[in-house]
Amino acid sequence: MNKITQPDCIFCKIANGEIPSSTIYEDDDFKVILDINPASKGHAIIIPKNHGADLYELSQEDAGKIMGVAQKCAVAMKKALHCDGLNVLQNNGEIAGQTVFHLHVHLIPRYKGDTVNINWTHGEAEDAQKLAEEIRQAF
Ligand code: AMP
Ligand code: ZN
């Protein structure tokens, strides 16, 4: 089926094979490649073949499939890389660290003693019931 692509989007070009990449997995809907500036050995990114800038624009269909791809890749990566752990990360918006505005999911293998830093300080929850209600109302 034809994919929705955006001209001048580097990940559209990679996902659809116009630009070569180090591919570890591919199916009809996704390409998974090694990150060009890896956070750790084997850092990979899952790229949908359909363009959407971020999670808000991802189709329900691709959203439903993408964690299945992450699961398959995680199993293969653990087997091949012998990593001690793995972070699954997906950034939306500049403030969240997004630099390429075609949705992608990071698979970051973790090794004992590595220098990868994905930590935050834990705050105090305020008005959780009210906040939950506000979000429920937004669906
Ligand atoms: P993010 O900061 O979440 O938008 O992630 C973008 C990621 O894409 C970064 O980790 C980059 O190193 C990676 N990246 C950018 N261009 C390429 C490319 N041509 N091939 C592979 N990875 C890339
Ligand atoms: Zn794109």
Please report the domains of the chain, with CATH numbers, ordered by start residue. 10-137 (3.30.428.10)
CA distance 78 to 39: 16
List 43, 51, 102, 104, catalytic entry = 104
> Is the pLDDT confidence value at 1 over 80?
no
Closest ligand to the CA of 99 = 1
CA distance 132 to 130: 5
Give the tens place of pLDDT for each residue, 59-93: 999 999 999 999 999 999 999 999 999 999 999 99
CA distance 122 to 132: 18
CA distances from 79 to 9, 68, 111 (A): 32, 17, 13
Distance from the alpha carbon of residue 105 to the mean position of ligand 1, in angstroms: 10
**Ligand 1 pocket, residues with Cβ under 6 angstroms:** 10, 21, 33, 35-37, 45, 91, 97-100
User: pTM of whole model > 0.95?
Assistant: yes
Residue 104 is a catalytic residue: yes
